[in-house]
A and B are shown apart, each in its own frame.
Chain A
Amino acid sequence: MTNTTAQDRVGLQLEPIDAAALAAHVRGPEDGAIVTFDGFVRNHSHGRATKFLEYEAYEGMAVAKMNEIIEHLHEKYAIHRVAMIHRLGHLEVGETSIFIAVSAAHRGEAFDACRYAIDTLKKTVPIWKKEFFEDGAVWADGELPPAPPGAKSAS
């Protein structure tokens, strides 16, 4: 499931993430910096050796929330282009699960925007990770996204 705007690229995919292609996608002649975040599968979790991970998503909502993050980046930071791809399905240790690239004229805005993007993704995008060990599997402890206030919203 991928949604590509003229300049940004966002999506979920089962296939390995091509980080170099995403960094190239955001790179433009008006830019002076690209900041990337490459999140990949660690070989341990809470003191146990991880064999592999499985990711699943509420795909339509996840892409919508990722697009909201990108919209916010453009409003808040002086950046040019964003690529944000999350992988789903089975991932081996060392494989990239999330890749974010942000281009900007100046590095400060790109660093700040990239940091905001990954921090917000981890709190608000409906994606779940199951960790598989030699002796079992667990759903990773996650973050509960904030719910809106409880005003009646009948429609």
Chain B
Amino acid sequence: MRDVAPMIRVKVLFFGRLRELLGKSEDYAELAGGESLASLFESYTRRYPQLAGFRSSLVASRNQEFAAWDTQLDAGDEIAFLPPVSGG
């Protein structure tokens, strides 16, 4: 691991009711390398208070795979916070 985590940039996608709540379908976020999906979501909750309380009804993905909230992020990751799915 690096001694000092440099800032990294990740792409963040929003779908369904989350896209409507935030009024956007994608965003770029800057954060310290090694930060987790949970801390990225917390940063969005600070910017968008309407997201508070949503985390338990979302699942996160990293690079198009479902990922645990403690997953650490790398530069260039594609992240999404996914509401319950309702295809079919």
Contact = CB atoms under 8 A, between A and B. Distances in A.
Interface of A: 39, 55-58, 60-62, 64, 86, 97-98, 118, 121-130, 139-155
A71 to B, nearest CB: 15
B87 A128 contact: yes
B37 to A, nearest CB: 10
Nearest to B38: A150
Contacts of B34: 154
A83 B5 CA distance: 46
| Most chain B CB atoms below 10 A, which of A57, A61, A122, A143 | A61
Interface size band for B: 20 to 34
A146 B66 contact: yes
B40 interface: no
B87 A98 contact: yes
Nearest to B58: A144
Contacts, number: 107
16 contacts: A57-B15, A61-B64, A61-B80, A97-B88, A121-B87, A124-B85, A126-B87, A128-B87, A139-B86, A142-B83, A142-B86, A145-B82, A147-B59, A151-B68, A154-B72, A155-B72
Contacts of B17: 128, 139
Nearest to A146: B66
Nearest to B73: A154
Contacts of B85: 122-128, 142-145
A80 to B, nearest CB: 24
Contacts of A142: 83-86
A56 B15 CA distance: 8
B87 A127 contact: yes
Nearest to A118: B88
Contact of B72 (A60, A125, A153): A153
A86 B13 CA distance: 21
B70 to A, nearest CB: 5
B88 A122 contact: yes
A113 B34 CA distance: 41
B10 interface: no
Closest 3 CB pairs of A and B: A127-B87, A142-B84, A142-B86
B74 interface: yes
Contact of A153 (B15, B57, B71, B88): B71
